[in-house]
Amino acid sequence: MKLKPCLTALALACAAGASFQANAQEMKAEVIHWWTSGGESAAVKVFAEQFAKAGGTWVDTAIAGGVNARTAAINRVVGGTPPTAMQFNTGKQFDELVENDLLRDVDQIATEQKWKSFMPQAIIDATSRNGKMYAVPVNIHGQNWLWLSKAALEKAGASEPANWDEALVALEKLKAAGLIPLAFSGQKVWERGLFNAVLVGKGGTALWASIHGKRDPAAARSPEFRAVAETYGKLRGYIDPGAPGRNWNDATNLVIQGKAGMQIMGDWAKGEFAAAGQIAGKEFGCAILSNEGGYVMGGDVFAFPKLKDPAQQKAQLVLAKVMLEPETQIRFAQKKGSIPVRLDLDVSSLDACAQKAVKLLEDKKHQVAAQEMLSPPALTGAMEDVISQYWNTPAMTADAFMTKVADVLKQPF
C-alpha cells in the first residue's frame, strides 16, 4: 500500500521541526545490521548515539554475516513483522522488495535535504528505482585497498608497491623472509574481492566495465583478461595454510600484528587498525594497486519497510536525516574506515588513507561502481562460484577459467 501524501508530508514536517525531540518511546527504531567486528561495532554506535540525541531509542539487532542479516530482515518483512530499518550493500540487493511494494521511498527527504547534490552519481543510481531513492547511502567503501604492515615490509626489505607487478615482487620478498606474504580470508566472497582488485588494477577500468557492466563475453577472452587471470592465480602461492574459512578481520589482525605483510580488503579493515590503536602511515600503509587509479566504490545503505504506525514512520525519517548529518558522517567514517558518502565535507580530521580516497574521488574517472551496483545478485553469485572454483583448483588453466567466465556472462540474468 502506498503511503498517503498527507502522512508523508506531516512526517517530514515533524522530522524537520521542533518535534524532532520526540518522546524516546515514540521514536524507538529496531535496526537490523551485520556490523559485529570491533571496528564495525564502534561505528554503528555512532548512529545509535546520534539517533538518541534526536530523541530516539536505537534497538540494535546485529546478525553476524551480511547474507544472514539480509535474509533475516527480508523474512521479517515478508512475514509481516518488519524492523524499522535494515542494512544492505549499495546496489541491487533490495530490488525484489521494491518490486513487491514492500519498501517506502525516501525521495521527499532526499530532495528536501539535497542529497543528490553531494553524492557521486553512481551511488545515487544504485539507490534509485524508477526515479526515486529507496535507500539511504551512509558511506563509501573502497573495495580494492591494499593494507601493509610497515614492520613486516621492513623486515623483508620490501618496498610498498604501487601496482600489481610491484606487489608480486614484494610478496616474494615477504615469503623469503618467512612471513605470511598475503593475509587471506578463504571465503568465497573474499576470493571474489581479491579477484576484483586484480581485475580493476591489472586489467583497468575499461575491462572492469566490459565484464561487470556490459557483461561482454568477448572481454573475458581478451589478452587483458588473461593477464588478470594469471596474476590472480599466482597469488595462491602467497597465502598460508590457515587461510581457508578464516574471517576477514582475523586476516587483518595478522597484518596488525606484523605476522603478515599485506592484505587486500575493503576499507572497513581500517576500522580494525584504528581499534588496535594503529595509525595510517605509521604502523600500517595503504595503497590502491592500479596504474589508472580505479577506486571501486561500494558501501552500505539502510532501507525502510513500509510501516503503518505513524510513530514508526517518523522514526524512519529521523534515522534517514541523522545518518547523513555532517557530524554523523565524519564520526562514523572515523570508526568504520570508510569515507563519507557526502563529498561536500571537510575531511581533514580523517586519516591519511581516507584523505587519499577522497582525493581520488574528486576525479570522476577514478570512480568505479562496485560489482554489486552493476550486476544483479544472481550474476554476482554465478561469478563468485566460478572465481572460487578457479582459486581452489590450482590445476585449472587460465584458458579454462576464461571460458567459464565468458559462459556466465552469456546467461540471461
Give pLDDT tens digits for 123-138: 999 999 999 999 999 9
Check: CB of residue 185 under 8 Å from CB of residue 250. Answer: yes
**For residues 119 and 287, what is the distance between their CA atoms, to the nearest angstrom?**
23
Determine the 3-state secondary structure of 187 from DSSP.
Answer: coil
**For residues 345 and 251, what is the distance between their CA atoms, to the nearest angstrom?**
32
- Residues in contact with 18: Cβ distance below 8 Å, sequence separation at least 6, in sequence order: none
Task: Name the nearest CA neighbour of 202 among 159, 163, 162, 160.
Answer: 163
pLDDT band for 318, please (50, 70, 90 cuts): very high
Mean pLDDT is lowest, of 206-210, 271-275, 406-410, for: 271-275
pLDDT band for 140, please (50, 70, 90 cuts): very high
pTM score of the predicted model: 0.82
Judge whether residue 20 has pLDDT over 60.
no
The pLDDT value given to residue 276: 93
Check: CB of residue 320 under 8 Å from CB of residue 304. Answer: yes
Instruction: Dump pLDDT digits (tens) for 157-205.
Output: 999 999 999 999 999 999 999 999 999 999 999 999 999 999 999 999 9
Determine the 3-state secondary structure of 405 from DSSP.
Answer: helix
From residue 10, alpha-carbon distances to 3, 30, 106, 297 in Å are 11, 22, 14, 35
The pLDDT value given to residue 7: 34
The pLDDT value given to residue 5: 38
The pLDDT value given to residue 284: 97
Q: Cell numbers at residue 100, please?
A: 513487491
The per-type count for the chain, helices as H runs and strands as E runs, is 19, 14
Cα Dmax for the chain: 69
The pLDDT value given to residue 274: 87
Torsion of CA 160, 163, 166, 167, to 10 degrees: 70
Task: Name the nearest CA neighbour of 70 among 302, 240, 280, 289.
Answer: 302
The pLDDT value given to residue 271: 83
CA angle 215, 221, 225 (to 5 degrees): 85
**For residues 124 and 291, what is the distance between their CA atoms, to the nearest angstrom?**
27
Q: Cell numbers at residue 19, please?
A: 518535534
**For residues 28 and 37, what is the distance between their CA atoms, to the nearest angstrom?**
24
Q: Are strands 300-303 and 85-89 parallel, antiparallel or unpaired?
A: antiparallel
